[in-house]
Amino acid sequence: MLHVTLRQLQVFESAARHLSFSRAAKELHLSQPAVSMQIKQLEEALGGALFEQLGKKLFLTDVGREVVRVCQAIAQQLVGLEDTLNDLRGLRQGALTVGVVSTVSYFAIRLISRFRQEHPEVRITLNVVNRETLLDQLADNAVDLALMGQPPAGQDLESTPFMENPLVVIAPFDHPLAKEKQIPLARIAQEDFVARETGSGTRSASEAFFESHGLALRAAMEMNKNEAIKQAVEAGLGLGIVSRHTVTLELAARRLTALDVEGFPIHRQWHLVHRCNKHFSQAAGAFAQFVLTRAASMAGII
């Protein structure tokens, strides 16, 4: 039987993630010799080296990579244990981690605020990331729930639509096309766009829409934040395609306008996503129910 401790595995996991003993020491508030000692003891118990140093870089050995997989499995088991204990304690001491794509973040913050008014003791961690990162976090079981566009099939994920997410073409308020009606898509395709990064749900949906009409989206600039896109469009650097929910204030303030373009808005939906067969704590279950039953009626508060 192996004689290893959770502390040794915790220290190793941090060092393996950073590929640095010094960074692991800083993260765990330990001295570097203490980290080295814990890893040396773990190597002795396992009978093999976990790291090898080539030049100035640290790499995992085959043994090290296998232990990383075990650490991840143990971490998931501990999360499950915490969820079970939270179930026993009820919502008063519940906690959950919600991941959202940046397009949803504007609405998600207000959604969480309303939820916490009803459940003030629930501790919520909100991760705002791009689509690819959020899919990775779901695959790693790093978030309880995600709010995003429809995820790709075949990734062991369950998704439920909860609200419409119309995509509109935005322009500066005084743009020459601002007062035109039913602008042909071929005319808009001649304009430069400030686009989201490749891989984002908005970018993929926009390109697919143009391609379905035999046209191409002219992405003159790429930005990974909707806020940056809005500012760039307002500054006259190009048109943009964003969720209408993200530009309500700018439209009301006449800083931006939504152009009347043939075929727009592109009708999409936001989805509540989680791992298949995910065990929900009471807090996660309550939040999921809140999203599915209350989100659509709250759309007008933005």
Q: How confident is the model at residue 89 (pLDDT cuts 50, 70, 90)?
A: low
Least confident piece of the model among 82-86, 88-92, 195-199, 282-286: 88-92
* Closest among 16, 21, 51, 45 to 33, alpha carbons compared: 21
Which residues in the chain are classed under CATH 3.40.190.10?
Answer: 90-162+269-301, 164-268
**Helix (H) / strand (E) containing 84:** helix 62-89
Please check the confidence at residue 81 and state whether its pLDDT lies above 90.
no
Q: Report pLDDT digits (tens) over 202-220.
A: 898 999 999 999 999 999 9
> What is the Cα–Cα distance from 176 to 55, expressed in whole angstroms?
59
| Reported CATH class of domain 90-162+269-301 | alpha beta
Residue 11 vs residue 296, higher pLDDT = 11
pLDDT in tens, 148-205: 988 888 888 999 999 888 999 999 999 999 999 999 999 999 999 999 988 788 898 9
Please state the rounded mean pLDDT for residues 107-125: 89
pLDDT in tens, 24-61: 999 999 999 999 999 999 999 999 999 998 988 999 99
Contacts of 200 (CB under 8 A, 6+ apart): 101, 103, 130, 131, 224
- Mean predicted lDDT score pLDDT of the chain: 89
The tens digit of pLDDT for each residue in 239-281 reads 999 998 889 889 999 999 999 999 999 998 899 999 998 888 8
CA distance 226 to 241: 9
Structure tokens at 52: 């090898």
8-state DSSP, 209: H
Cβ atoms 169, 239 nearer than 8 A: yes
Residue 302: band (very low, low, confident or very high) from pLDDT cuts 50, 70, 90: very low
Q: Which CATH number fits domain 6-82: 3.20.130.10, 1.10.150.120, 3.40.50.620, 1.10.10.10?
A: 1.10.10.10
94 pLDDT band (50/70/90 cuts)? confident
How many CB atoms are closer than 10 A to CB 111?
A: 24
Write down the pTM of the prediction.
Answer: 0.62
CATH 1.10.10.10 location in the chain: 6-82
Per-residue confidence (pLDDT) for residue 230, from 0 to 100: 94
β-pair partners for 128? 100
DSSP state letters, 191-227: S-EEEEPTT-HHHHHHHHHHHHTT----EEEEES-HH
Closest to 271 in 3D by CA, of 139, 134, 97 = 134
Fill in the amino acid letter for 278: K
* pLDDT over threshold 50, residue 301: no
Cβ 269 vs Cβ 161: under 8 Å: yes
Q: Which CATH architecture has domain 164-268?
A: 3-Layer(aba) Sandwich (3.40)
Residues near 104 by Cβ (< 8 Å), separated by ≥ 6?
147, 148, 270
Calpha distance 7→11 (Å, rounded): 6
21-28 vs 6-18: helix crossing angle, rounded to 10: 120
- The C-alpha atoms of residue 231 and residue 217 are separated, in whole angstroms, by 20
The closest alpha carbon to 216, from 195, 253, 176, 186, belongs to 186
pLDDT of residue 23: 93
